[in-house]
Amino acid sequence: MTLFHARLKERGLKSTGQRDDIARVFFGIGRHISAEELYAEVKKVSPHVGYATIYRTLRLLRECDLLQERHFDDGQARYEAVDERHHDHFICERCGRIIEFENDSIERLQEAVARQLGAKLRRHKMELYGTCADCLAGGTH
């Protein structure tokens, strides 16, 4: 939050009640939230906000390098707080759960692929889709 305020000030932008509410809810809820879900949550604490402010604040948080936007295969964007560590995602096609993982060997091989193509790798997206352990166990469902 303090960081958010600082980044806003740097840019000559203003801190407002709504921005704080949205940011607080976002960082509180944490990971992989959609705009719709965030909107619903923020409404609880600040019933007047509109989608516009949600989306504008999400963009702002992205521009402040505090948030990352992800597009999985279900049409709507999801947002997560930026993390020190890079990670990729496993998405359960049954229950929708999103599991994060890291794998350095894969990252290294991706660099190697880019090198072979003579290209410069800037970022990547890797998503594994399947059935998670819980669902395989006939779990929570």
Least Å from the CB of residue 139 to a copy of itself: 11
CB atoms within 10 A of CB 61: 23
User: Which one of residues 55, 90, 107, 134 is an interface residue with DNA (CB under 7 A)?
Assistant: 55
Q: How many CA atoms lie within 13 A of 89 on its CB side?
A: 19
Indicate the angle between helix axes 35-45 and 51-63, nearest 10 degrees.
110
Binders in 57-76 for a copy of itself, by CB under 8 A: 71, 73
DSSP 57: H
**Which 58-77 residues touch DNA, going by CB under 7 A?**
58-59, 75-77
**Which residues, listed in sequence order, are joined to residue 70 by a DSSP beta bridge?**
78
Q: Is 121 in the site for a copy of itself (CB under 8 A)?
A: yes
Binding site partner of 120, from a copy of itself, DNA, none, Cβ cut-off 5-8 A by kind: a copy of itself
Among 19, 26, 80, 132, binds DNA (CB under 7 A): 19
**Token pair belonging to 127:** 């998503």
- Contact between 88 and DNA (CB under 7 A)? no
